[in-house]
Amino acid sequence: MTYLFACIAPLLEWRQAIPMSSAYEWEGVARWLRGDRTGSARSLARRHEIDVYAIPGLRPLGVLGNQGDRVVIGYRQSLSEPYAEHSIRHELGHWAMRKCGVTDSEEGADYIAAATAMPSAAFLACFRSVGDDLPQLALPFGVTETSAALRLGELLGEALAVVAPLSVRVRGPEDWVWPDTETVRRWARAGRPGLKKTRLRDDRRRVVLRAIAG
């Protein structure tokens, strides 16, 4: 297998909110990739004639490559199912951006991974039914609460941060200015008026801060 990409977990990253123009472009790539059907990451890969393998001891979370004239995706075998699903979708995102002539990026691959797992109409319908209850939002889509929270920020356009031990990721309006990482981490520990704090149930080390009106 010849690797085109080897993707690792985000580490100590700080992302600005995703620009609207990028989100629009990536939603389009996700729609092309997904078509009008939903399904598992593996079935999505199969539809595009991409082979998927679990690779024991793989150091990156996922890899995209070629084997002969086939496109192949490998993921670390020890990943739990939601992470394996995300990893496969992430590599599909890299492949699809290239196919669609969109500038390839890690942010884009992650966005497309989420957008294929949680199509906007279905996800917003679920939100209208269960509200911002993250376990309830994540369950029907087979994703982690982190993914569901980030998708919520993307689709509602509300300022939101997921604070994890090694990373802080933000979503929401481009003109919302978050302070430095240390301050956001302090808010995640102690709370902050105007921000709703939710500790994730599937990973107690992670906290979501969501701006609330008023």
Radius of gyration of the chain (CA): 17
Task: Give the residue with the Cβ less far from Zn ion, 30 or 188.
Answer: 30
Print the binding letters for residues 59-88 with Zn ion: x by CB under 5 A, - otherwise: ------------------------------
Task: Give the residue with the Cβ less far from Zn ion, 7 or 200.
Answer: 7
**Which of 97, 91, 211, 87 shows the shortest CA–CA distance to 156?**
211
- Compute the distance between CA of residue 53 and CA of residue 45 in angstroms, rounded to an integer: 11
CB 5 to Zn ion: min, Å: 5
- DSSP secondary structure code for residue 207 in this structure: E
CB 109 to Zn ion: min, Å: 4
* Cα-based angle 58, 59, 62 (whole degrees, multiple of 5): 70
Asked if 62 and 73 count as a contact pair (C-beta separation under 8 A), the reply is: yes
How many CB atoms lie under 10 A from the CB of residue 174? 13
Asked if 45 and 73 count as a contact pair (C-beta separation under 8 A), the reply is: yes
Residue 109 near Zn ion by CB under 5 A:
yes
Cβ-closest position to Zn ion: 7
Task: Give the residue with the Cβ less far from Zn ion, 86 or 210.
Answer: 86
Asked if 200 and 179 count as a contact pair (C-beta separation under 8 A), the reply is: no
Count of residues that bind Zn ion according to CB under 5 A: 3
CB 6 to Zn ion: min, Å: 8
Q: Which stretch binds Zn ion (CB under 5 A): 2-10, 71-79, 153-161, 165-173?
A: 2-10
Q: Which stretch binds Zn ion (CB under 5 A): 12-20, 50-58, 103-111, 136-144?
A: 103-111
- Compute the distance between CA of residue 52 and CA of residue 45 in angstroms, rounded to an integer: 7
Q: Which stretch binds Zn ion (CB under 5 A): 7-15, 19-27, 96-104, 184-192?
A: 7-15
Which residues contact Zn ion by CB under 5 A?
7, 106, 109
